[in-house]
Amino acid sequence: MPAPLSCRRAPEGISLRYRFQAGRDFAYSLAISGRGTVHASHPSALGELEETEFPISIEGSLKTVFRTREVSVTGNAVFDVEYKDIHFEVVDEQGGRKLRVVIDGGGIETYDGDQLLNSVPPDDKNFLLKGVAGKTFKLVMTPRGKIEAIETPDSLSGAFPYIRFRELLEAAQPELPADPVHPGESWERKLVLQLPQLADRFASGETFAALQTYTVESEPEENPARISLRGSLFMEEPSAGSGPGTLRAFEQKTDGYFLFDRIRGRLLETGLSLDQEFGVTILIPRLSPDEGIDLDMKLKIELTMKPAGD
């Protein structure tokens, strides 16, 4: 005979925690695919506004390696993080021309159709990945997945101004709830990010705010646990505008999921869809000290992250 409802034991819910171990390394393969448009406008020699719009696409992949340097008594882990096997292609089509830029460990190649226009070898001082390949940066994370500290190489962000790598790291790393949760329950994470200067491309000082809502979709007995995500990220304060370029506006909406291994305490898989809109002004001193090209971009980026081998 079933017990009365008032006497039944309430389900304990699902407890979600990372279980870091010093000396245990792990790696993820990150794939990025993006499509969108760029609207460019600038004053002509006669002072009239010239405008053009063209499609842009981004295809890329890289491996992120986490080496667990130490784990504190509270479970916080200090990682040495390294980006490896970086390969990106950015394509835009303007005036009937298909311009393609390929960036990887072997250098940078720029094509007009199938014709090679320019190449930068990896030992060149202007090679954008020179400060990235083989370098590590420090990341500190709590058992709930909160990133306490991060040192992202400026050279990486400068190499790919269309992609905000710190935001990708934050978005791809779910912050787990303080208490056990039941199927269908949600929790929120609010972030305020102060970004470092992006090499010499944009001025520093942008402040971003993010709101992320996570929901458990799996049952307590299921492993891995499936967690859905909906989020928004926008720029609260623009940059000071003191450099050769200024990020005027930025907004991102996120929709996706995570698979989390509750037994081993580690993230297994991430799938995210990012809708981005942002505006950038690139100053051209030879034309005018306070005028340049305004670029307004809309991008939809699909991001997947899965475990990778060594």
Q: Above 90 in pLDDT, residue 34? A: yes
H/E element, 159: helix 154-159
Look at residue 129 in the predicted model and tell me its pLDDT: 72
Most confident of 52-66, 183-197, 284-298: 52-66
Mean pLDDT in residue range 99-111: 89
pLDDT digits (tens, 9 = 90+) for 156-197: 555 555 455 555 566 567 889 999 999 999 999 887 765 443
Q: Above 80 in pLDDT, residue 268? A: yes
Domain ranges of the chain: 22-307
Mean pLDDT in residue range 224-253: 78
CATH architecture of 22-307: Roll (2.30)
d(CA 14, CA 219): 8
Residues of the chain with pLDDT > 70, as a percent, come to 76
d(CA 231, CA 228): 10
Burial of 73 by CB count in 10 Å (0-12 exposed, 13-18 middle, 19+ buried)?
exposed
Burial of 7 by CB count in 10 Å (0-12 exposed, 13-18 middle, 19+ buried)?
exposed
Instruction: Report phi then psi at 208, rounded to 5.
Output: -115, 145
Q: Above 60 in pLDDT, residue 6? A: no
pLDDT digits (tens, 9 = 90+) for 63-94: 989 999 999 999 999 999 888 888 999 998 87
What single-letter amino acid sits at 251?
E
Look at residue 154 in the predicted model and tell me its pLDDT: 58
d(CA 157, CA 91): 18
